Structure 1
Amino acid sequence: MAADKKANKVVLAYSGGLDTSVIIPWLIENYGCEVICFAADVGQAEELDNLEARALQSGASKLIIGDLKEEFAKDYLFPMIHSGALYERKYFLGTSIARPVIAKHLVQVAEQEGADAIAHGCTGKGNDQVRFELAIMALNPTLKVIAPWREWDITSREDALAYLEAHNIPFPNNNPGLYSRDRNLWHISHEGGKLENLANAPDDSMFMLSNSPKSAPDEPETVEIAFENGNPVAIDGVSYSPAQIVMKLNALGGKHGIGRVDMVENRLVGMKSRGVYETPGGTILYAAHQELESITLDRETMHMKDTLSLQYAKLVYFGQWFTPLREAFDAFFSVTQKAVTGKITLQLYKGNVIVIKRSSPYSLYREEYATFGPSPVYDQSDAAGFIRLFGLSSKVQALIQMDDVKVPQVPIEEIVRD
């Protein structure tokens, strides 16, 4: 066995899916190591059922499950809501934002168990390999990282099933659509299978969190979301924990067909890929948070925040969570959220999120200021001077460029002053 193919104890990021089920015996066979499985509960629901039995059956020495739902919502999802980050105009970063919290706990488990390596089941063509490995590198660079998809000769689902059969490890073949899915508290993604052909529309049977807008209720439903310092804290007057907020809005949004996105995105590794995402609760929270910011943030702060939001989305997508840049971004966004307190009422109807009411004790909107009638803070005659000064550079440039027009031979300062 080559020196680089040795490890004493490996912690595997375990999902119970086909890939990680194959990785357990493959690591034992190729690295001669003990395999400890770690499953991060970030809201996969029934995907965690019977996980321990499957891990032990595949050859793991034990399975550790970490309930990370509240930490995930409070320390990762809520800061992202503050930023308003969307990747390439559409993607709510559901898979991307879960990777740092999973990686953090993988490293902690490896340190607690005395492991010398961490393994993951990310493919060599995807983004997740970068996200996991950058996080591990930032948190404990002494840990070896093993990525079987970059080493083995398994190239298909059929190869993987054949490998398990050869090792007498049963595995349920319950994915007839051959979709690659990732589910957590924030979303579920669907890739591969029929979706690889851009001419194929998603089948309604593929969706798991949301009704089709066509089959959603025919009557709209209203919901009020309360925020404190940018964090959602209550739904219809009832307080909930961060994870409960997301789960309840997932159920409500899914009922009304909200949060479906079908997009072709630019992967970090260079290729384009198609993903179909369901983010019902996140879509509602982003809409409500954005509307509350519209009345509590001043213009210049909002515009700068929109600019930085794009960079924050790239940072999350590229797996650069554990960096000084992310901390600096969070510091800026945290300041912007000091006045983002109030309530937003939304109407949910067949895939649409419609704003009904906005209120905040820190609202910068005042009816008496915005009115077209007399106002104590705005004299309409002041606008003439403002427009002259605001357009001064354009006026000077136009005067200079009037080559074929006879410009009066008077001092330029007199023309500008008119």
Structure 2
Amino acid sequence: MDLKQLKGLRVGLFTSGGLSSTAVAAWLAENGVDVTCYVADIGQQAPMPAGELATRLSEHGLKSRAVDLRAEMAGTALDLVTYQATYEGGYWNTTGASRAVLVSGLGPVLRADGCDVLAHGCVGGGNDQSRFARYAARFTPDLTVFTPWTEAWMLERFPTRTHMSTYLSDLGYPKELTDWAAYSIDGSLAGFSHESDALESLATAPASLEPLMTVWPQDAADEPGTFTVRFEGGRPVAVDGTAVAPLDAMLRANALGGRHGISLRTVVENRVNGTKCRGVYEAPGLDVLGPCLDALYQACLDKPSTALLRRLSATLGGAVYEGRFHDASGRAAAAGADLLAAGVSGTVEATLYRGNVHVQRLLDLADAPGTARQTRFTHGGHHWITQAGQGATV
């Protein structure tokens, strides 16, 4: 799409406070495009909270609207836990997960506001361009998707991120929104990713990076912390004896995990476009809840079910990363994982200490059908007895 075409349409721009999306918003508005910035609150606090960002954009003459999607983001984050849906290196791809939340959550708002175009500021040819395209086709097929950084006329105006930063600085935008020429973050209440010019070199240690949700293990609390979580059907329903909704579960797990240095992973991953890229990822709540539920799966699922869940987890981890979480294959894999998780309930007690999660006890387990634990030493030590079922000698 060219600028002339955009001037005749109402554009809804997903704006996170990132350098590229903010530059797009300011420049389109300056050139007479009817653009509204939609700021989704998915629990991110950087570069600034969603409400503050919407206010700052409005102060600079941009139409903006904040939309609270924290509950939806928390629900999707806990889907990842239930499905054990990690990606390469065992990390939780919270960026890919958030793209589904943004399009499914903001799409109806754009439509209700009369928007014709869904726009975003993601890098042309990158992972997120592909993710947004897939989810827009799934959730907002009636809206045209505008990807600025695949258009020659936008690239000519802003050939580098430094040009974007200078442009916004000259317009008086705050440093919190402009000082990102060589660094990029993406975040939600589920986790944050960090990329930069320095991190692109595999010879550079990430030690200078400042985490946003957790701390480096050596800086964590001196004393271990305890965490008790009750799962029912593979979903957390109580934390430390208090019933929780998904958002509460995530916030409490994030706070404790962050205090104890849980979750900093450096990964060189295979990207959607066939390249490799290095990033640093933090998701303390997921890295607390995930191992706790995995311990329940180990205890409660029979061998074939466990093997099947592992395969489904790998499929779903890839689907989240590639923006296929809501494709037919992703929905089928999720339905299978839900079926396996449905019979798995119990309470997990864990100790957190300097980057490690140690599961201590499993209590009040509800086994999936067909499982039976065996005991030996509690029956004299010379033969096995099934603990579940009829207690027959094996």
Q: So what's the TM-score if we normalise by structure 2?
A: 0.89
Mapping of residues 229-308 of structure 1, within 5 Å = 229-308=233-312
Q: Which amino acid aligns with 1:147?
A: T
Q: Which amino acid aligns with 2:148?
A: P
Instruction: Give me the whole-angstrom Cα distance separating, in 1, the residues matched to 2:132 and 2:185.
Output: 17
Residue 379 of structure 1 and its aligned partner are, at CA, apart by 6.3
SS at match of 1:12: strand
Cα distance change on mapping 1:373 and 1:328 into 2, 3 Å = same
Question: Which residue is 1:373 aligned to?
Answer: 382
Mapping of residues 13-162 of structure 1, within 5 Å = 13-28=14-29, 32-45=32-45, 46-60=48-62, 62-74=63-75, 76-151=76-151, 152-153=154-155, 154-162=158-166
Instruction: Give me the whole-angstrom Cα distance separating, in 2, the residues matched to 1:203 and 1:160.
Output: 28
**Alpha carbons 1:16, 1:54 under 8 Å: kept:** no
Instruction: Give me the whole-angstrom Cα distance separating, in 1, the residues matched to 2:98 and 2:362.
Output: 31
Unaligned runs of 5+ in 1: 381-418
Instruction: Give me the whole-angstrom Cα distance separating, in 1, the residues matched to 2:38 and 2:242.
Output: 34
Residue 376 of structure 1 and its aligned partner are, at CA, apart by 4.9
Q: Which amino acid aligns with 1:170?
A: Y
SS at match of 2:199: helix
Residue 336 of structure 1 and its aligned partner are, at CA, apart by 0.8
Question: Which residue is 1:212 aligned to?
Answer: 216
Cα distance change on mapping 1:64 and 1:354 into 2, 3 Å = same
Residue 35 of structure 1 and its aligned partner are, at CA, apart by 0.9
Q: Deviations over 1:50-101 (max 9, x none)?
A: 22232224442x3221111112222x12222121111113221111111101
SS at match of 2:198: helix
More divergent stretch after superposition (274-283 vs 21-30): 21-30
Cα distance change on mapping 1:176 and 1:140 into 2, 3 Å = closer
Q: Which amino acid aligns with 1:374?
A: H
Residue 170 of structure 1 and its aligned partner are, at CA, apart by 2.6
Mapping of residues 272-351 of structure 1, within 5 Å = 272-351=276-355
Question: Which residue is 1:172 aligned to?
Answer: 175
**Alpha carbons 2:268, 2:277 under 8 Å: kept:** yes
Unaligned runs of 5+ in 2: 387-391
Instruction: Give me the whole-angstrom Cα distance separating, in 1, the residues matched to 2:173 and 2:100.
Output: 31
Q: Deviations over 1:192-211 (max 9, x none)?
A: 13111111111345212212
Q: Which amino acid aligns with 2:309?
A: K
Q: Deviations over 1:134-165 (max 9, x none)?
A: 11111222311111111212132320123335
Question: Which residue is 2:232 aligned to?
Answer: 228
SS at match of 1:54: helix
Instruction: Give me the whole-angstrom Cα distance separating, in 2, the residues matched to 1:121 and 1:210.
Output: 27
Question: Which residue is 2:389 aligned to?
Answer: none
Q: Deviations over 1:90-121 (max 9, x none)?
A: 22111111110101123212210111101101
**Alpha carbons 1:345, 1:357 under 8 Å: kept:** yes
Q: Which amino acid aligns with 1:22?
A: A
Residue 17 of structure 1 and its aligned partner are, at CA, apart by 2.9
Instruction: Give me the whole-angstrom Cα distance separating, in 1, the residues matched to 2:286 and 2:320.
Output: 16
SS at match of 2:237: strand
Instruction: Give me the whole-angstrom Cα distance separating, in 1, the residues matched to 2:211 and 2:181.
Output: 12
Instruction: Give me the whole-angstrom Cα distance separating, in 1, the residues matched to 2:355 and 2:347.
Output: 22
Q: Percent identity?
A: 34
SS at match of 1:207: coil
SS at match of 2:86: coil
Q: Which amino acid aligns with 2:64?
A: L
Q: So what's the TM-score if we normalise by structure 1?
A: 0.84
Q: Which amino acid aligns with 1:69?
A: R
Instruction: Give me the whole-angstrom Cα distance separating, in 2, the residues matched to 1:368 and 1:2.
Output: 72
RMSD: 2.2
Mapping of residues 382-393 of structure 1, within 5 Å = none
Q: Which amino acid aligns with 2:251?
A: M
Q: Which amino acid aligns with 1:131?
A: R
Larger Rg: 1
Cα distance change on mapping 1:177 and 1:260 into 2, 3 Å = farther
Instruction: Give me the whole-angstrom Cα distance separating, in 2, the residues matched to 1:149 and 1:59.
Output: 23
Cα distance change on mapping 1:292 and 1:229 into 2, 3 Å = same
Mapping of residues 193-212 of structure 1, within 5 Å = 193-212=197-216
Q: Which amino acid aligns with 2:52?
A: N
Instruction: Give me the whole-angstrom Cα distance separating, in 2, the residues matched to 1:285 and 1:292.
Output: 11
| Count of residue correspondences | 376
**Alpha carbons 1:161, 1:171 under 8 Å: kept:** no
Q: Deviations over 1:314-348 (max 9, x none)?
A: 11111012322222112111111122110111111
Residue 366 of structure 1 and its aligned partner are, at CA, apart by 3.3
Instruction: Give me the whole-angstrom Cα distance separating, in 1, the residues matched to 2:3 and 2:262.
Output: 52
Cα distance change on mapping 1:160 and 1:303 into 2, 3 Å = same
SS at match of 1:203: helix
Q: Which amino acid aligns with 1:134?
A: R
Q: Which amino acid aligns with 2:110?
A: A
